[in-house]
Amino acid sequence: MLAVESLTIQENIAKLEEIMRDAFHWSFTHACSFDLGKFQLVHYTRNRGKYAPTPLITPTHVIPATDSATYLGLIMDRQLRWKEQVQRAVAKGTKAILAVSRLTRPSFGLPHRYVRQLYRSVVIPRMEYGLCVWYSPVVPNGNGRRKGSVGVLKQIQKVQNVACRLITGAFKTTPIDALNYMANIPPIELRLNQASFNSAARLAALPPAHPLHKMVHRCMRMFPQHHRSVLHDMFAAFPEIANLETIDPTPLDTTWKAPFSYRIAANKEDTEKELTMYAGRKCFFGDGSGYEGGIGAAAVVQREDGVYEKRQVHLGNTDEHTVFEAEIVGLILCLSIAASIPRLRSVAFLIDNQAAIRAVANPKPQPGQHLVRLFHDTLRDLMRKRRTFDLQIGWVPGHQGVEGNEVVDEAAKEAAQGQFSELPTKLHILHDLPSSVAALKAGRKHAIARSWASIWQESRAGQRIAAFDKTPPGRRTLRWYEDLHRGSCSIITQLRTGHIGLNAYLARFGAVDSPKCHTCGEPETVRHYLLTCRRFSKERDDLRHALHSSGRQKLDIKTLLGRPKNKHHLLKFVSATERFPRYDTSPPQD
């Protein structure tokens, strides 16, 4: 890709011609040729007065200027409005979900679980490729309206609506809020903003050596009134990532070896046996804790008089830091205490977090990387002063009666509540650590869950379903569809939403002459069908007996439509009534 910039298109063409002359000379001297027929030329400007479709003339070809070009799978139009890219993304998503629709229908085909998996693993990646480039997060603008890529969001929402309908087997009239709830797919605005947040966090964590580092941090600091890019909008929507840790993707030298040994027992039962392996070593205990909204780390060692010496650090709150970080800091504090004890040679650091041990033994690009590097830098300084310093790190299970581990656990909880110790100058950095990528992502995930729960509670569909099921949106809603084939999944959805092939619903569209039950003369609603219709009295008696046998449950709507454990009793009743002959609601065969 060749990119030049200047005040006019003519200057750009002159620069490109000069570059092409050098490129042709290089190709001639290296016995290489360019396929000029595949070259694309685009003049990027939003100034209509300065635009002119000036071609690039080479000795053998004329490369015409086009309105857009495809680069790395993205369509870049000459004004960088991304309209063509959005249209293509929506078209790809629509094509993919229509292909999935050939595998399932409300009455037959793939069940809920697999259709949902196809949507998340195939349709979403195809449709939302490069999302952070062409989508600005949609956020409130303060006057009751929204700003960002609202139009793009509405187009993608149409694809998600079709997908949720396929997943759940619901009718077209089912409210979108109910579809999202039953499919456990977050509302489109929350889901796309979450994807944008993850991209923003990944960009903000780039190291200074990365080519995008300066541009990213410039966009984080500035928010211009005019000529804003998607990066400006992205970082303005998520100001919490301004003070984020750096994650260097550069791998370690393959010949690198940890300057210590480590042991991780196979199970908790070997604890006493493992502790005997550290006989003859001075044992230090480290720990990290998340307690009452805070994150703290501590390290302790028993002195000759039996009193425990401890050091503590309060890292911050759980929205910015993780227990994993605190465990690494616990190891750093162990090093700090060891360095303060003269003539100490053989030591063991014992912690109850296996992930932290593996992280320092085999460093990788991951959240908390800067703390792992601080641990190794501190250890390297100590080993330069004490050439015979021998360190072994071991795992000790928590809450198993190991005295040192219990002491450090209490110290870590105190640190999480704000306690801290005086540290050497080199470790003052621990008092002002950057935010963790993992903590911010987890906090964002919880915020989305709260937002979705609020949207669901305020929706009409949510209020109607809350009459028998107050479960908030989340994975627990998927329990209704576990181990069920397609027909059963669809009937469960339709019964719970009330949009089902009963007369009260069908009469709304003129599909039947009357909304009333042919036997009872009352409106044939879900409640009437399940609880009072005389036509199915025998089947209902069997259902009542089954519920009584499985925990003395009474027959009501909350029992039938609010408790997933009763789904098989409910489906057996539906199958026995033969009210929905097109749907196979028989139990799945093992």
| pLDDT higher than 80, residue 266 | no
Res 338: pLDDT: 93
In this prediction, residues 515-532 reach a mean pLDDT of 95
- How far apart are the C-alpha atoms of 544 and 210, rounded to whole Å? 67
pTM: 0.89
Look at the alpha carbons of 71, 74, 75, 79 in this order and tell me if their dihedral is positive or negative. negative
Query: pLDDT tier at 31 (50, 70, 90 boundaries)?
Result: confident
| pLDDT higher than 70, residue 124 | yes
pLDDT, tens digit, 9 for 90 and up, residues 350-386: 999 999 999 999 999 999 999 999 999 999 999 999 9
User: Coil, helix or strand for 208?
Assistant: coil
| pLDDT higher than 60, residue 157 | yes
Please state the domain extents for the chain. Answer: 9-66, 81-246+436-498, 261-433, 501-590
In this prediction, residues 247-259 reach a mean pLDDT of 86
Tokens (6 digits) for 403:
């005295």
In this prediction, residues 417-421 reach a mean pLDDT of 90
Res 264: pLDDT: 85
Q: Which residues contact 214 (CB under 8 A, 6 or more apart)?
A: none
CB 348 within 8 A of CB 394: yes
Tokens (6 digits) for 231:
């990066």
- How far apart are the C-alpha atoms of 164 and 142, rounded to whole Å? 31
Res 579: pLDDT: 94
Specify burial of residue 114 (Cβ count, 10 A radius: 0-12, 13-18, 19+): middle
Residue 347 phi/psi, 5-degree rounding, is -135, 160
Residue 470 phi/psi, 5-degree rounding, is -95, 15
Tokens (6 digits) for 126:
């195809």
For 288, 312, 350, the CA distances from 331, given in Å and listed in that order, are 9, 11, 9
- How far apart are the C-alpha atoms of 25 and 32, rounded to whole Å? 10
By percentage, how much of the chain surpasses pLDDT 90?
A: 77
Res 522: pLDDT: 94
Query: pLDDT tier at 589 (50, 70, 90 boundaries)?
Result: low
In this prediction, residues 125-131 reach a mean pLDDT of 95
| pLDDT higher than 80, residue 275 | no
Pinpoint the alpha helices (H) of 474-536. Answer: 486-497, 503-506, 526-527
Res 586: pLDDT: 80
| pLDDT higher than 80, residue 267 | no
Res 226: pLDDT: 83
Superfamily classification of domain 261-433: Ribonuclease H-like superfamily/Ribonuclease H (3.30.420.10)
pLDDT, tens digit, 9 for 90 and up, residues 481-515: 999 999 999 999 999 999 999 999 999 999 999 99
- How far apart are the C-alpha atoms of 17 and 11, rounded to whole Å? 10
- How far apart are the C-alpha atoms of 406 and 274, rounded to whole Å? 17
Res 144: pLDDT: 80
Burial letters 85-102, b for 16+ CB under 10 A, else e: bbebbbebbbebbeebee
Residue 455 phi/psi, 5-degree rounding, is -60, -40
